[in-house]
Structure 1
């Protein structure tokens, strides 16, 4: 074996100097140079077109020497990930005689292409070769050799041992070549001692009681060491919001190779807290502007050292009325919230809330609202969660005008008391809820309600009904080829949502806050907020001004989101939907469709978007041909 270490270092340094000197004259003209052409030579194989998509240097762009260097690295990595482990990429730059344009050339020497043959395991006894082979599924026989996939598989094997009581396992992967292009992977395994948790120690506790931390642990004294359980325990501890720092480490026990001490180092948060939260709402029907709300909040997150919390929230809202040119205070809300973090000896928090609201809409009767609710929520594996809720609402009208059903649409009008019980399930695979990509969201709920109110004769009327709602959302990335332009990374977002109200017995009035509505920035764009469906009120020309809502809902959306530059995203969409007053009114041809364009700005608080929707099937009662929308977050 020949040692060429010193020579390699000197040659490498010499090449770096040549690279820097070659770029010096280009740097002098960098602000004036435009890329005329990008040329690729050599290295052809069936993935060549896909390789060109990863290059950042494009014709017509300003020349940037750093981007050329980055492209060289990207091309090299691409070839090596496709089995060309000896691939080398050489770049060159030619400046035009008038020093205005530059031609960038990449010469690719791909070399031989290698393929996986087999994986051989040596030294394993605690974990079978079948289990180990499952970690190498991406490195299947016949696939192009990709060292990054191999490294990922080795890490999976390491995790398998770490989660089976083997924190001191040693893995050594070697390659063996056959028939010039086949690679055997030999994984030598030194399993070492199986380790158990001999003791658990809690360091840094002051006001928080020890049992609060102990119940958050996924691993117990006497169990095998398990890294996954330890990491989950750390996340559980942070989720209590009682600690600003939580660190878990293991310490070997002297003279006992199979025993370790689990040390949990903690730093507590101040249990008392106070804060301010800003929120922005939008009222399309009346104000066509922003509704600002300011929440003053504070509380105690660790009552009696038991992790129970209590908080108070005060929220006034202000809106600007375009017609009168004045500020208006449409709502004030005060809310008391108590959280019991564990229900039934499980990590299932229970939230008890009492809220009082003063509703003073611009053009309707004023009323006060009391709302009492109790919710429990449990998170399961694989992004599933289940929620149950009990609630009671009571509305008190303050004048003789009655409550305007459109301005107070989310509350009760003709029936002043509602007692309800809800079960809600969801599966949320979105990693980024602000800008979801390559993910999905599914949810379903069923609610039983008992409502009490008065009818025209002033007699009390009761109603019992079930409300069922389900939705499915998908976010699929795709990269279409448009003419000769570089492939853009688009997202195809789609949604279907359905809901129905089933009454027990004869048809009666459903409280207006429990009815379905459609139209607006988050359902069917092109229609003003809630103005798609049965009309409650029309103007002199027969145009709808208020919606009555209904008992059956259908909404569908498909949208293409196209990132343009920096924080700007363009949208184009096709929305459809309708609301039927009664279940027997269902007719598929009633569904209305709209299409339109939008632009979204990705901010730290989430996307802020401006959309315009155009009605494709305008009805006589529709007041406009389309509508503008301002929204926080994407429509779905």
Structure 2
């Protein structure tokens, strides 16, 4: 007949208390001349007597013997401990009578499916079959495993039943706690399926608070909602179930922005920007932009994160760009680019994502004074990309990283007049600093195989987005910029939610040959700047000095890194 472990332990405690009391009332006062153990079959005398403090030659003491019985019981091997006395060599022979727990023959687990493997649970319990069950060790390990389940996010998981039979079969039944339903409240525009696909837990799943937290982060990154409040509510009358209620307050996802200013990258400019992040509540992103001034751009882009409700994403963009530039010889020219791209993406494990992009672009460059065309090339390329973003904030990240790796191949079977292969690795890392300050570090490495001259496809260096204190024309010369190494380091000091001060140092260079890349051949810049968060994006103002201590003002829109 099986006995509940809790019952076994409880009864043993009662028996022990009774035995100690009875023994205490009948303890003869005499010298202890011998101490032994009776009733143990598997647990050795030495281990038992090692817990006894009374020694041969001591006078019998009710308090001491009570403590010795408790110490033996606390070893965890016995369901009952008693004490008897016999005369021996003019004194007392103290005999500790013990009743061993059953020998553990087998461990049967249930309810663990979806949590861990049976082997991993048995490893956590650390109980050896073929030996007397140590209840103390078992209880400690059951408690530790309960804490592990909690730490791993299984906040409802508990033991439904723990039994040890007389035949030595330990049965551990776990109730993991399931999600009965996911309810969404407060969404007036966004469709339910758009919200649910961002939450990696659904009705019927085992409740895991880490998955709920991940869903909260996913929803927050969408920027569709002003407030997000997930609640886990117990279901009355159900067997260890809860429902997830996601309370939402919709945000304005449409934008109409216009303005003007001066950028050290694009010169004087004006712009009109229209975008919608959550088109018709279906989670699609569409935007159009007109920029005019020294740089004129017309662009249209569209992004569907879940194509046909699958895990594949889809996006396309078309653009027409005209930009005035100056080369190293201080000659002005106009670069006109027209093209577009189509991109498919798919998630990978551990927050990575891969994408494949087809790009088509026609580029023409003409002298500003004569209008003569000196460059006219078509580009067709495929880009395989891998990206991962674990940063904790859009404007002021203090932890995590952003990694992007791309391989772009143009020409050959893809078509176009340009032939090259480019490898670009852009890695950014964020660290907390004093108070709410942050340290941001970036390394960008660009490598390309020898190719036909490509002008617009060369790596750019200098300006507000790379090596501050310099301008791009400082690195535009007769040597093709086939390879790039750029290092950036910033110390960011937020003054409030809108303004952040920055101290920075940059290093970088471009080379024609890969063999020429060297850390002792870098140009350096340093300076300070200010960031302002606006509905348009982040406005950046930096003042940087080059190696000759010449200063330059940089102004641009959007995050540096």
TM-score by length of 2: 0.56
Match of 2:43 in 1: none
* Equivalent residue in structure 1 for 2:471, among 528, 545, 561: 528
Q: Offset of 1:514 from its aligned partner?
A: 0.9
Q: Offset of 1:501 from its aligned partner?
A: 1.8
Counterparts of 1:227 and 1:366, CA distance in 2: 56
Match of 1:375 in 2: 343
Report whether the alignment pairs 1:628 with 2:545.
no
* Equivalent residue in structure 1 for 2:510, among 547, 553, 578: 578
User: In structure 1, the residue corresponding to 2:472 is in which secondary structure?
Assistant: coil
Match of 2:425 in 1: 470
Unmatched runs of 5 consecutive residues or more in structure 2: 1-109, 127-143, 161-172
User: In structure 1, the residue corresponding to 2:272 is in which secondary structure?
Assistant: strand
The alpha-carbon distance between structure 1 residues 196 and 206, as it changes in their structure 2 partners (threshold 3 A), is: same
Report whether the alignment pairs 1:195 with 2:195.
no
Q: Offset of 1:392 from its aligned partner?
A: 1.3
Counterparts of 1:436 and 1:589, CA distance in 2: 31
Counterparts of 2:394 and 2:527, CA distance in 1: 19
Report whether the alignment pairs 1:417 with 2:378.
yes
Q: Offset of 1:218 from its aligned partner?
A: 1.5
**After superposition, what is the alpha-carbon deviation per residue over 1:68-119, rounded to whole angstroms, capped at 9, x for unaligned?**
xxxxxxxxxxxxxxxxxxxxxxxxxxxxxxxxxxxxxxxxxxxxxxxxxxxx
Q: Offset of 1:518 from its aligned partner?
A: 2.8
* 1:526 and 1:594 in contact (8 A); partners too: no
The 5 Å alignment of 1:80-479 reads: 159-160=150-151, 162-163=153-154, 165-166=156-157, 194-203=176-185, 208-240=190-222, 243=225, 246-266=228-248, 273-276=254-257, 282-283=263-264, 291-299=268-276, 301-303=278-280, 306-311=282-287, 313-317=288-292, 329-343=293-307, 345-359=309-323, 364=332, 369-378=337-346, 384-395=352-363, 414-431=375-392, 441-450=402-411, 462-473=417-428
User: In structure 2, the residue corresponding to 1:614 is in which secondary structure?
Assistant: coil
Counterparts of 1:240 and 1:441, CA distance in 2: 17
Which structure: larger Rg? 2
TM-score by length of 1: 0.50
Q: Offset of 1:129 from its aligned partner?
A: 10
The alpha-carbon distance between structure 1 residues 279 and 222, as it changes in their structure 2 partners (threshold 3 A), is: farther
The alpha-carbon distance between structure 1 residues 293 and 404, as it changes in their structure 2 partners (threshold 3 A), is: farther
Q: Offset of 1:306 from its aligned partner?
A: 3.9
Q: Offset of 1:338 from its aligned partner?
A: 2.3
The RMSD of aligned alpha carbons is 5.0
The 5 Å alignment of 1:68-83 reads: none
User: In structure 2, the residue corresponding to 1:229 is in which secondary structure?
Assistant: helix
Unmatched runs of 5 consecutive residues or more in structure 1: 1-124, 134-152, 170-190, 318-328, 406-412, 453-459, 480-487, 537-547, 616-624
Q: How many residues align?
A: 404
**After superposition, what is the alpha-carbon deviation per residue over 1:388-412, rounded to whole angstroms, capped at 9, x for unaligned?**
322211346799968799xxxxxxx
User: In structure 2, the residue corresponding to 1:230 is in which secondary structure?
Assistant: helix
Match of 1:35 in 2: none
User: In structure 2, the residue corresponding to 1:222 is in which secondary structure?
Assistant: coil
Match of 2:483 in 1: 552
Of structures 1 and 2, the one scoring higher in RCO (CA 8 A, sep 6+) is 2
Match of 2:544 in 1: 611
The alpha-carbon distance between structure 1 residues 426 and 577, as it changes in their structure 2 partners (threshold 3 A), is: same
Counterparts of 1:387 and 1:398, CA distance in 2: 34
* 2:386 and 2:406 in contact (8 A); partners too: yes
* 1:364 and 1:402 in contact (8 A); partners too: no
* 2:260 and 2:271 in contact (8 A); partners too: yes
Q: Offset of 1:574 from its aligned partner?
A: 6.5
* 2:420 and 2:448 in contact (8 A); partners too: yes
**After superposition, what is the alpha-carbon deviation per residue over 1:332-352, rounded to whole angstroms, capped at 9, x for unaligned?**
333222222203754543222
* 2:506 and 2:526 in contact (8 A); partners too: no
**After superposition, what is the alpha-carbon deviation per residue over 1:194-227, rounded to whole angstroms, capped at 9, x for unaligned?**
4222344455566655443443332222222222
The 5 Å alignment of 1:13-92 reads: none
Match of 2:24 in 1: none
Q: Offset of 1:371 from its aligned partner?
A: 2.2
Q: Offset of 1:565 from its aligned partner?
A: 9.5
User: In structure 2, the residue corresponding to 1:370 is in which secondary structure?
Assistant: strand
Counterparts of 1:400 and 1:601, CA distance in 2: 34
Counterparts of 1:529 and 1:275, CA distance in 2: 31
* 1:528 and 1:627 in contact (8 A); partners too: no
* Equivalent residue in structure 1 for 2:452, among 508, 515, 526: 508
User: In structure 1, the residue corresponding to 2:449 is in which secondary structure?
Assistant: strand
* 2:362 and 2:376 in contact (8 A); partners too: no
* 2:285 and 2:302 in contact (8 A); partners too: yes
* 2:179 and 2:205 in contact (8 A); partners too: yes
Counterparts of 1:437 and 1:468, CA distance in 2: 28
Question: Which deviates the most, 197-206 or 414-423?
Answer: 197-206
Counterparts of 2:261 and 2:555, CA distance in 1: 10
The alpha-carbon distance between structure 1 residues 611 and 345, as it changes in their structure 2 partners (threshold 3 A), is: same
* 2:504 and 2:526 in contact (8 A); partners too: yes
Q: Offset of 1:292 from its aligned partner?
A: 3.9
Counterparts of 2:153 and 2:263, CA distance in 1: 51
* Equivalent residue in structure 2 for 1:517, among 432, 457, 460: 460
